[in-house]
Amino acid sequence: MTQRVFNFSAGPAVLPLEVLQHAQEDLLALPGVGSSILEISHRGETFKEILDAAEANLRQLLGIPDNYRIVFLQGGSRLQFSMIPMNLLNGKSADYITTGSWGEKAFQEARREGPVRLAWDGKSSNYNCVPTNDELDLDAEALYVYFTSNETIQGVQFSKEPQTGSVPLVCDASSDFLSRPVDIARYGLLYACAQKNAGPAGVTVVIIRDDLVPEPDEKMAGMLSYQNHIKNKSCFNTPPTFGVYIVKLVTEWLIHTVGGLEKMHALNRQKANLLYSAIDTSDGFYTSHAKLDCRSLMNVTFQLSNADLTPQFIEQAKERDLCNLKGHRSVGGIRASIYNAMPREGVERLAEFMDAFRSANR
Ligand SMILES: *Cc1c(COP(=O)(O)O)cnc(C)c1O
């Protein structure tokens, strides 16, 4: 087999080896079908079973109540930035909490669709924290409160949902979906593109409470209507069949190999702690971008006190098969994305390298 490296890419990102092997084995022909997932109709029984299994696995893992619909869409999270306000606003207003670049982009798109407000904005501190509930400026009449549970670029994560009274939460969970248990009943809508933690690029999972699904709207384009996708069970047009298939395998891996989201969360906490303790015991050689109480378990962002050493850090890490560690240009430094599928061994190797690099360069 070609040598696999430890891939710390922010997305598309590492997938479980077991999932890739399973997909590889079945790539010439699904058992009993004689054709591969890439070659069969989305209208046939085989694909329907795959889609139903992916949905059932998600319901089981997240404990999704019966009054929520699940659809598998295309267009990535970016399309959700527009579809959400298009479908839900109906001339009224919504509140946005922006704790990083993705929330900011979602807010800018929503402004095209209706009179949305900022309930809190972390831009002035370059998005290194999340608000307390007291800091939120909420409108009790808002149709929803939007937030990003994990900001992938800044490495800032909510450890608990913001409190919004009776106003439903809408969440971009793209980069921490399936990394921990979530109480879906607190949400009006939760969505995630798959390419961070749940599968390949090309499929986006949207979970929506059924009373929020708008009535059919003659003027709305069919592809943009939740109602339409729900009515057609994600098959209004050809869905991303391969992506849905991989989501099915990833969710099977979470259920059977990992043992559920509580276990996944514990593993993710252990992995993140290895890196944060390498930062915290470095005597200031490394500094975390995110404040202590909102450090992400998925994207660990940090700077070297001597920024001139950053390219060497990245180069020497790569020589040890620790790849794709360069931080996003808006934050600089290093970003280690350690999603569900990053093995603990990769994180241990990175923590060891961080210590060794510090000793050699202090
Ligand atoms: C990656 C990411 C996006 C953008 O996803 P696309 O599928 O490229 O549109 C949006 N939000 C978050 C939190 C992300 O991590």
**Could you read off the pLDDT of 156-193 as tens digits, one per residue?**
999 999 999 999 999 999 999 999 999 999 999 999 99
- Across 258-282, average pLDDT: 98
Is 210 catalytic? The answer is: no
Q: Which atom of ligand 1 is nearest to the CA of 100?
A: 13
Tokens 């982009």 found at: 105
pLDDT at 216: 84
Please, which pLDDT band fits residue 2 given cuts at 50, 70 and 90? confident
pLDDT surpasses 70 at 240: yes
Please, which pLDDT band fits residue 1 given cuts at 50, 70 and 90? low
Given a contact cutoff of 8 angstroms between Cβ atoms, the answer to whether 254 and 178 are in contact is yes
Given a contact cutoff of 8 angstroms between Cβ atoms, the answer to whether 6 and 337 are in contact is no
- For ligand 1, atom 3: residue with the closest CA: 77
Condensed to tens digits (0 to 9), the pLDDT of residues 91-126 reads 899 999 999 999 999 999 999 999 999 999 999 999
Pick the catalytic residue: 196, 248, 271, 326?
A: 196
Using the mean position of ligand 1's atoms as its centre, give its distance from the Cα of residue 167 in Å. Answer: 24
Please, which pLDDT band fits residue 37 given cuts at 50, 70 and 90? very high
Our answer on whether the CB atom of 76 is closer than 6 Å to any ligand 1 atom is yes
Given a contact cutoff of 8 angstroms between Cβ atoms, the answer to whether 182 and 162 are in contact is no
Structure tokens at 297: 């378990």
pLDDT at 362: 87
The mean pLDDT value of the chain amounts to 97
- Across 301-322, average pLDDT: 98
Condensed to tens digits (0 to 9), the pLDDT of residues 283-308 reads 999 999 999 999 999 999 999 999 99
Is 95 catalytic? The answer is: no
pLDDT surpasses 70 at 251: yes
Best residue among 98, 102, 153 to mutate for probing ligand 1's pocket (most ligand atoms within 8 Å of CB) is 102
